[in-house]
Amino acid sequence: MNYAVLQKTLDIPPVEKIEQALISVKGFTRIDAQTFANDAYGILVKNLSAEQASGFSGALLSQGIETEVVAESELISLPQTKFVQRLDCTPEGLRIYDPLGRSFLLEWPHICLIAAGCVRMTDFRRVERPSIGTSDSEGGTYETTTIYNVEERNTHLLLEIVLSRAILRYSVSAENFRFDYLGERRTKSLPENFKLLAQDLTTFAPDAMLNRGAYFLKQNEALFPYPTKNAFFEEITWLLWRMKREGRI
């Protein structure tokens, strides 16, 4: 059975304290400390043996960092998702549209978690480069096109809506979303429209758990950055685990 070491809070532990803790744990080096700190969004490390997890947790406690050792089977996997490009926030509920324009109304109490964030991700852009080739047999030339993918690091505005008991989630990518329901409130700024959507969701579903990104938008603060997609989703996993422990799902 594999184990994970989870943070008690979402405060990122100091790298130097993680380094000191790792000295006494087999299978790790000081270099791993920076990796753990960079990705400390609730789950410090996974895929450990019971001995490794217990040793690391105890060593962190000696550095003043409280953690908890959890069997990975206790963590709630992210539920199956459905990508949506249109939602309407109404007092009666969240109206969700499928690609064919059909809709249904989801009552607000059925939403248990809302997560939002400015997430840094790896994208691949298709590039076509024309070139001139030479025919060996006839000595003529011809045009050809070379197609290749260019790797880029970009930020994306992502939003996740998780339903009660974590049975399903709806995923929104701002760049593919229609903000028609905003009406006269709609602006030419994609981040501003995204903020309005998140604020509407958190207002209509006040009992839903919020990740840091959604919480800060609710407070009308800046977009919260996540260094990787993994960090964004690990924070959601950590929040679902907390909700499970509290009997909320």
- Positive or negative, the CA dihedral 208, 212, 177, 222 is positive
Per-residue model confidence (pLDDT) at position 140:
61
Q: Would you say residue 47 has pLDDT above 90? A: yes
How much is the pLDDT for 31? 86
What is the model's pLDDT at position 129?
72
Element at 239 (helix H, strand E) = helix 229-245
Does the pLDDT value for residue 93 go beyond 80?
yes
The CATH number of 3-74 is: 3.30.1390.10
Closest CA to 81 of 165, 179, 166: 166
Instruction: Using pLDDT thresholds of 50, 70 and 90, give the confidence band for residue 165.
Output: very high
pLDDT of 127 higher than 80: no
Q: In which band, very low, low, confident or very high, does the pLDDT at 227 lie, cut at 50, 70 and 90?
A: very high
Token pair 């499970």 in the structure block, residue: 244
Kindly give, in sequence order, each residue whose CB lies less than 8 Å from that of residue 230, ignoring residues fewer than 6 positions away: 39
Looking at the domain that runs over 81-123+152-245, which CATH code has it been given? 2.30.29
Q: Distance between CA atoms of 237 and 128, rounded to whole angstroms?
A: 39
SS (H, E, C) 116-155: EEEEEEEEEEEEEEEEEEECCCCCCEEEEEEEEEEEEEEE
Q: Does 81-123+152-245 match 3-74 at the fold level?
A: no
pLDDT exceeds 70 at position 132: no
Amino acid identity of 57?
S
CA 170 → CA 38, 87, 165, 183, distances in Å? 27, 10, 14, 22
Beta bridge partners of 162: 113, 169
At 151, the pLDDT band (50, 70, 90 cuts) reads confident
15 vs 131 pLDDT, higher one: 15
Q: How confident is the model at residue 29 (pLDDT cuts 50, 70, 90)?
A: confident
Mean pLDDT of 119-146: 69
Q: Greater confidence, 39 or 170?
A: 170
- From the list 149, 165, 172, the residue with the least C-alpha distance to 81 is 172
Whether pLDDT at 103 is above 60: yes
Sequence spans of domains, the chain:
3-74, 81-123+152-245
> Mean pLDDT over residues 97-106, rounded?
95
235 vs 241: CA distance, rounded Å: 10
What is the predicted pLDDT for the residue at 141?
63
